């Protein structure tokens, strides 16, 4: 995931440089007064790729017990509230629904019902982000963004009395994250369109361990935390 994020960052920088060169010639400005609004609103659609980071207990770190994570593309949808401070700083609230699935494969089992756990998650994700923009270049405006967020996992199984013995992988219902990303505002004739990409990293342990402290599924895990990449397309 780090390699993918690095490649996308390089592509973003290259595209920004190309866009600056391409738009260097003076052109007719669209939505010339859009950024003068104190408050603005919009919505976003996008995709996500969630992953897990496992930290193992010391006595298990040398064992061949790594848990494999199979990621899949998920879907995002949500709203945007934007508070303008000046031409370069904006505070954004972006509540949304995020749907994703991760498949976990545990070693040491032969039956599929034991070694595979399909972790389907529906998150209510609420980030508070500071957006730092460059000077507008005709009809484009690159930016970086960062902040903190919290989420509620509606499919966490946190209170489920059943655990992996009955095929239920359990996680905490709420999680806090920090986020970093970048994007480009495109000022079109009727609206502002913004593609962006963000990395999301959980700051807390999300694992609800099995009732048996020696569980073959969770007994070797010290910490489980989410990380992911969001690709959003914003319309304002």
The rounded distance, in Å, linking the Cα atoms of 85 and 97 is: 27
Residue 25 pLDDT class (50, 70, 90 cuts): low
Look at residue 11 and tell me whether its pLDDT is greater than 50.
no
CATH topology of domain 33-235: Porin (2.40.160)
Q: Which residue has the higher pLDDT, 216 or 12?
A: 216
Please give the Cα distance from 119 to 138 (Å, whole number).
Answer: 45
Q: What is the pTM for the complete model shown? A: 0.84
Contacts of 111 (CB under 8 A, 6+ apart): none
d(CA 28, CA 9) in angstroms, rounded, equals: 29
CA 28/CA 40 separation, integer angstroms: 23
Side-chain-side CA neighbours of 20 within 13 Å: the count stands at 10
For residue 65 the two structure tokens come to 């017990």
Q: Is the pLDDT assigned to residue 48 strictly greater than 80?
A: yes
Token pair 């895990």: residue: 221
Across 60-77, average pLDDT: 84
Give the pLDDT confidence score for residue 58 in this predicted structure.
80
- What's residue 39's pLDDT? 94
Question: Would the pLDDT of 192 be above 80?
Answer: yes
Q: d(Cα 232, Cα 82) in Å, to the nearest integer?
A: 16
Picking from 105, 114, 122, 108, the residue whose alpha carbon sits closest to that of residue 171 is 122
- In the chain, domain spans: 33-235
> Which of 67, 127, 118, 56 lies closest to 91, judged by CA?
127
Tens of pLDDT along 119-166? Answer: 999 999 999 999 999 999 889 999 999 999 999 999 999 999 999 999
DSSP code per residue over the chain? -HHHHHHHHHHHHHHHHHHHHHT-S--PPSSTTGGG-SEEEEEEEEEEEEEEEEEE-GGGTTSS-PPEEEE-EEEEEEEEEEEE-SSSEEEEE--EEEEEEEEEE-TT--SHHHHEEEEEEEEEEEEEEEEEE---BTTEEEEEEEEEEEEEETT--TT-S--GGGT---B-SEEEEEEEEEEEEEE-SSSEEEEEEEEEEE-S--B---SSTT-TTTTTEEEEEEEEEEEEEEE-
Residue 132 confidence (pLDDT): 97
Strand-pairing partners, residue 170, are none
pLDDT of residue 106: 92
Of the ranges 18-27, 146-155, 210-219, which is most confident?
146-155
């Amino acid at each position: 995931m780090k390699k993918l994020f690095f490649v996308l960052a390089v592509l973003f920088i290259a595209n920004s440089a190309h866009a600056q060169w391409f738009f260097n010639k003076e052109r007719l400005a669209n939505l010339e007064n859009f950024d003068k609004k104190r408050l603005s609103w919009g919505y976003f659609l996008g995709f996500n790729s969630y992953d897990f980071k496992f930290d193992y207990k010391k006595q298990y770190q040398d064992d061949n017990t790594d848990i494999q994570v199979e990621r899949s593309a998920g879907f995002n949808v949500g709203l945007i509230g934007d508070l303008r401070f000046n031409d370069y700083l904006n505070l954004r609230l972006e509540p949304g629904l995020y749907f994703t699935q991760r498949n976990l494969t545990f070693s040491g089992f032969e039956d599929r019902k034991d070694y595979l756990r399909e972790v389907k998650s529906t998150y209510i994700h609420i980030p508070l982000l500071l957006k730092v923009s460059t000077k507008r270049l005709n009809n484009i405006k690159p930016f970086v963004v960062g902040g903190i967020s919290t989420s509620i996992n509606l499919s966490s199984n946190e209170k489920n009395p059943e655990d992996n013995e009955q095929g239920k992988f359990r996680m905490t219902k709420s999680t806090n994250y920090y986020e970093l990303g970048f994007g480009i505002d495109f000022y079109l004739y009727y609206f502002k369109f913004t593609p962006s990409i963000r990395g999301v990293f959980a700051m807390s342990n999300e694992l609800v361990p099995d009732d048996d402290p020696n569980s073959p599924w969770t007994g070797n895990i010290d910490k489980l935390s989410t990380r992911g990449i969001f690709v959003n397309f914003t319309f304002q």
